[in-house]
Each structure stands twice: as C-alpha cells, then as structure tokens.
Amino acid sequence: MELLYKSTRSDQTPVTASWAILKGLAEDGGLFIPERIPKLDVPMEELAKMSYQEIAYEVMKLYFTDFTEEELKQCIRFAYDEKFDTKEIAPIRKVGQTYYLELFHGATIAFKDMALSILPHLMSVAAKKNQVKNEIVILTATSGDTGKAALAGFADVEGTKIIVFYPKGGVSPIQEKQMVTQKGNNTYVVGIHGNFDDAQNGVKEIFGNQELGKQMDQAGFQFSSANSINIGRLVPQIVYYVYSYAKLLADQEIVKGETIDVVVPTGNFGNILAAYFAKQMGMPIERLICASNENKVLYDFFSTGIYNKNREFILTSSPSMDILISSNLERLIYKIAGEDAKANQERMAALSKEGSYCITEEMKAQLKDFYGNYATEAETADMIKELYEKTGYVIDTHTAVAAAVYQKYQKETKDTKKALIASTASPYKFTRSVMTAINPDYNTMGDFELVDELSKISHTTVPRAIEEIRNAQAIHHRVCDATKMTETVKEILGIKK
C-alpha cells in the first residue's frame, strides 16, 4: 500500500516519499510526515536473525513505498558498507546493567552517519524518479555533526552541490577541522558569526525565499535539505532502534515482548522522534527519555507544556545539543494535536514571532511516554569520569548527558527496566572535554596528543576519521555574518545579485 506524505502546516495535496525526500521541506514551510505510521510486518524473532542491512530494508520499505525493492536494496548496500569500521554497523556495548548503542562507527564518527550515508543515494534515485533536470543544492545548518556527515555523504555525488553553514567558534576543534578539510569539487563550508539557531533560521529563510527559488530555477538549481527535517534522514534513524531490540533479543539479553527504556541525548529532536516512530510501529519501548544539556528548552517543555526559546543560549561541551529551536518537535506536536495543520501552523507562527507556544492539557496527556531532564556541565563531566573509573569505558559528552539524565530518571522513578542509551558520538570527537573530565591535567596537551592518550587509556584504536585529519590542510575558509547567508549562497552558485 502506497504511503504518502503531508505537510504539518497545511492540507496541501500529499506527495510521494521520493518527492518529500527531494524537497526536504514542504512549500508552506512545514515538515513532511507520513499519513500513517506503518506497523512492522515481520515478527521480532525473525528480525533477530537478520543483519543491519536486512532490517534496514524491512523498515524502509514500509515508508519509501514508491522505491522498488531493487532501488532500495541498492541504496542500503551503498550506504552500509566498509565506510563503517564494525561489521555490525551499530554495535551494542553492555556496561554494567546498561546497553550503549554505539552509533558512531561511520565515516565521521557520529550518529549522523547512520542516515547521511544513505540520503545521497535515496536522493539520486528520487531525482531520476521525478525527472528532475536541475542540479540539487543541499543546504544545511549544523551544530557540529550533521555538517561533516552530510559533506562526506554528498562529496562528488553527481548532480549535487552541498553548502554547510556552522557557528564559527560554536563547534569542537575536531568537528571544525573535519568540515574545513573536506575534499570534493561540490562541497562548500561557511562559518557564520552567530549560533546554531541563527544558522538554522537562515537556512529556513533561504528555503522560504520564493524569489531566490525562481532565480535558482533559471540558473538550473533547486534546493534540498540534509538536516533531520528531511524525512529521508528520519526514516533511516528508525532502523537502528528496531535493530537494537532485535539484537538484544538475538543475544538473549531480553526475552520476546520485554519492554525497554530508550535514552537519547537530544537537540533537534530527530533522533528521539525516530525512537517514538519505532515505538508506534510496534517496538516494545516503555519510556522515551529525552536528555538535554544546559540549553534545557525541551526539559522545560515536557515539564510545563510551554515551549519557550526566549532564554540565554549556552555554549556547552556537548555542542550538537546547543539548540533552542528543536525543529523536529513540530512533527510530534502535529501528531498529538490530532494532525490539525491549522493549529500547528499557528503554534509555529507564535514560535517565530513571540518565541514561544503552549500545548493543551489533552495534548500534554499524550506525552506520557516521554520523560525529560537535563544534565549540567559539571554532571556531564562527572559522568564521564565515574563511568571510566568504574568500568574503563569512555563516552563522549553527549552520551554522558544521556547517562547522567538516565541516573536521575532511575532515582526519581525507581524504574528497573533495561535501558538502551543512544551513544551518539565517539569520544575522539570531543577529546579535550572528555579527557579533562577524566583528569584536568590533560588540558596542557595538544588536540592530537589527547587523541593518542585517549587511545592509550581506553584501549581503542584511533578512528580512521581522526587519522585522516591529523595533518590535513584547511580547504574551506569562508566566514560570513548570519544576515548574509543568502548573498553567500548566491555567490557560491554564481547567481547574480
């Protein structure tokens, strides 16, 4: 049965999966959402016998119904190959009584690889399906990880260009070096004077600029997005939650039908939304634990039912979560409002104009599956140190936020169910923050000295992604003001002002 996609902001005609992937954002500024969330049609005990790639097909075929079996399997085969440094793609590490789902074994050592390895292939197939003749310009804002993962995924992909905006001074040194050293004749990286929300708002404004859209079309270009607002990003993320449950079942860590909790360090809300979709598909998840850092806009939302971005923006040691506008939350708000596009559009307009909106008591009651909390910078550092000293396992700052929030959840609720923590980045991506949390004396070392020391104390091999940038030279040097992003895009594409 064909599954179509509609906008969260209007009742415009639904579109196919391939068109939603190509467009990224609906024309009315809304996000594409499936008309229904499909149910898994393969029993969990059968999924438990499958590889990551096979499970990816069983999940994605339910969402991308206008892709043929051959097209989808080829996209999966191209995506989940030797780019990943582990055969199982997303291994699970049992540490004490907690399971860490390691989502950082791809080309850029962060969870964004899980979806951005496949998105370029989905997009190429989608372009052919829809007879698109224009060159596709991927426009993306990043808080650190999406940028490099998107650049790596789209580098030299025929028929595409990619432009990534990131907050200059708002990402880790390793994250920045990964981006500015990216090769590829179609890749462009721009630092902006501003924070991630400024970059994200700028990208949304560019997408909504109809005059620019006409100029782009005349010049033979059209925009699309690689951010998690693209449904082609969200669906592949559902896969690893289904896979993780099947894997725990296969390894006899859980019994058939046993419910588990899922803990996700959360910024733009895409990763935890994927877990919510997995639950709606029939995966036995009990609580969805939403972990925030000191930019705790989501914690406050789950506590009060009021989303309010009017607050100080705090730069933390977990920069991929330094976000005050969690774009993907819109899809959840739309769902719990009874898929009322008009009401959702009004809330998003209020967020844009006044910086806040509130939900009804009836909507709040539908969030009972979610638990929100946050970890301070001190709690995050303490978690890294505590886990290393007790077990020898080293986690990054984002995963530490999740682990610290999970501790709070256990103390508060006395819940003893097994929990899966989404480990979203390698500790090698945030070496200074990780190593100084373990021992402040490490702060005297250089960035790559810290890499080697981390390898030594964790008994792990330095990832290929880090070795590649150790001596790499910066290629991208563009920096612009947040208000000049449109002009910068035009300059890159050679469109006259």
What is the total residue count of the chain?
497
Question: What are the residue ranges of helices labelled H in 306-376?
Answer: 329-336, 341-354, 361-365
Q: Which residue has the tokens 């790596």?
A: 152
Residues 6 or more apart whose Cβ sits within 8 Å of residue 166: 141, 142, 143, 144, 147, 176, 179, 189, 190, 191, 192, 196, 199
478 closest CA partner among 180, 229, 239, 227? 180
Angle between helices 431-438 and 397-413 (to 10 degrees): 50
Q: Are 482 and 198 in contact (CB under 8 A)?
A: yes
Residues 6 or more apart whose Cβ sits within 8 Å of residue 357: 306, 307, 347, 348, 350, 351
Q: Are 265 and 398 in contact (CB under 8 A)?
A: yes
Q: Are 114 and 106 in contact (CB under 8 A)?
A: yes
Alpha-carbon gap, residue 172 to 480, rounded angstroms: 19
Sheet with 98-102: strands ordered across = 92-95, 98-102, 419-423, 260-265, 285-292, 370-374
Q: Which residues are catalytic?
A: 112
